[in-house]
Amino acid sequence: MSSPMRVPAAAPIADSAPPLWRRYRDVRSRTQALADPLSPEDCALQSMPDASPVKWHLAHTTWFFETFVVAPHAAGYRPFDPAFRVLFNSYYNGIGEQHPRPERGLLSRPSLDDVLAYRAHVDAAMRDCCDAARTDAGLAAVIDLGLAHEEQHQELVLTDVLHLLSRNPLAPAYDPARTPAAHPERELAWIRYRGGLAQIGHAGDGFAFDNEMPRHRVFLESFAVASRPVTNAEYAAFVDDGGYRQAELWLSLGFEAATSRNWRAPLYWVRVADRWRAFTLHGLGDLDPHAPVTHISYFEADAYARWANARLPTEFEWEAVASRTSDGSGASALAPGDVWEWTSSSYAAYPGFRPARGAIGEYNGKFMCNQYVLRGGSSATAPGHARVTYRNFFPPDARWQFSGIRLARDHAP
């Protein structure tokens, strides 16, 4: 791999700095650190319309702070480049026009150095905004949202880079020095849940996205959920049994997608000498049989569940079990799996949901159509986002995310 890109060192943060400013600098530094192993050429490429170049992620997260924090609150602020208002607007129609998403990889200009200078320009203005947020709760809330937004893009940087490098016949590794963690074999057990009313949604302590609220009650029938996600070895048995060719296991749209796109295994699996290997951020390596299967679509997850004589849990079943603790430690009853877990729930508003006024209200609500909810969190997810109420969502054919399966049944076996 070519030499890392040049990332300016962050200025030292004094112990006396306001906590919000310290957190802001920490989040921003982590985003740039994710780009360290990449060359400027790596950062400019876009491997498919659903992914974005790393350079665009670096600029868009900066655009968010400039648009929603700095411009409305920093007196006398001058934009780094007025053209960036359109170039790095993702989907906020209330702000104005956007550069077409499938064409983000055509933006050879501005250069990577210009984007890094843009980040530094906005960061300088954000110091005063973080100071002002100490006495302005509304401003502090928008900065909190911006930080959570940037942490979401940190995960997207990794998923998008993985897809990009997978398209290179040289199979370059993003992080070749680090070996993937080994996963011990864990017996699958079924966790019973007695039906009744369950409280769903964020309770109001700490940060949450608007789509996690309001907290409300749902009625659940009795069910059981698997104690761990489906493993690579278990999914390989489905593949070897001809699961991708058995139309009766699939939703109609799913079988059409699998057939027309020639799906034969999870994304990044490669058959080499009668054994499966997988392309990861660490390069091409042997498939860990006990690791959770990843990079599968909702369609594949649903088909596997039928093959296994089970089903996918609803997002409410998942949250109800995850909210319980397995012992007195406060740990969730569900074993962590380092993978987002598809649920059978369509992404929709909770009762009483109201998006915020203005363009910032476009963050989540307008995507509540033709998507399914995933719960949990992956090895690429920011730690603060792995809360039991967090609602991730993607179209049912999406495969490039770290998405997998946890099974459920109407009755425990």
pLDDT digits (tens, 9 = 90+) for 306-316: 999 999 999 99
Residue 177 lies in a domain: no
* Residue 278 shares a structural domain with residue 147: no
Write down the pLDDT at residue 336. 65
Reported confidence tier of residue 156, pLDDT bands at 50, 70, 90: very high
For residues 38 and 108, the answer to whether their CB atoms sit within 8 Å is no
pLDDT digits (tens, 9 = 90+) for 14-26: 455 679 999 999 9
User: Is residue 352 domain-shared with residue 226, that is, in the same domain?
Assistant: yes
| Gap between the Cα atoms of 401 and 242, Å rounded | 24
Kindly give, in sequence order, each residue whose CB lies less than 8 Å from that of residue 372, ignoring residues fewer than 6 positions away. Answer: 298, 342, 343, 344, 345, 346, 347, 393, 394, 395, 396
Query: Residue 125's closest CA among 66, 63, 195?
Result: 66
% of the chain beyond a pLDDT of 90 = 85
205 and 149: one domain?
A: no
The CA-based angle 32-163-253, given to 5 degrees, is: 130
Please say which residue of 151, 166, 181 terminates a domain.
Answer: 166
Into how many domains does the chain fold?
A: 2
Residue 136 lies in a domain: yes
Residue 172 in domain? no
Do 114 and 219 lie in one domain? The reply is no
Residue 173 lies in a domain: no
Same domain for 285 and 200, yes or no, is yes
**Owning domain of residue 144:** 19-166
**8 is a domain residue:** no
The set of residues, in sequence order, having a beta carbon less than 8 Å from that of 408 and lying 6+ positions away, is 223, 224, 225, 226, 310, 311, 312, 313, 314, 317
**213 and 294 fall within a common domain:** yes
pLDDT of 194: 94
Question: Is 130 found in the same domain as 265?
Answer: no
Same domain, 381 and 316: yes
- pLDDT confidence band for 327 (50 / 70 / 90): low
Evaluate whether residue 144 is within a structural domain: yes
Q: What is the pLDDT of residue 9?
A: 39
Residues 127 and 203 in one domain: no
Domain boundary among 133, 166, 199: 166
pLDDT by residue (tens digit) across 342-362?
999 999 999 999 998 889 999
Asked if residue 162 and residue 27 are part of one domain, the reply reads yes
Mean of per-residue pLDDT scores for the chain: 92
Task: Write the CA distances from 228 to 166, 186, 245, 339, integer angstroms.
Answer: 28, 8, 27, 10
**pTM score of the predicted model:** 0.93
Claim to verify: residue 162 and residue 194 sit in the same structural domain: no
Q: Is residue 159 part of a domain?
A: yes
Do the domain assignments include residue 311? yes
- Say yes or no: 271 and 194 in one domain: yes
- Domain with 336 in it: what CATH number? 3.90.1580.10
Q: Over 50: is that where the pLDDT of 179 sits?
A: yes
Mean pLDDT within 130-147: 96
β-bridge mates for residue 372, sequence order: 346, 394
* pLDDT band with cut points at 50, 70 and 90 for residue 154: very high
Of residues 330 and 370, which shows the higher confidence score? 370
pLDDT higher than 50, residue 212 = yes
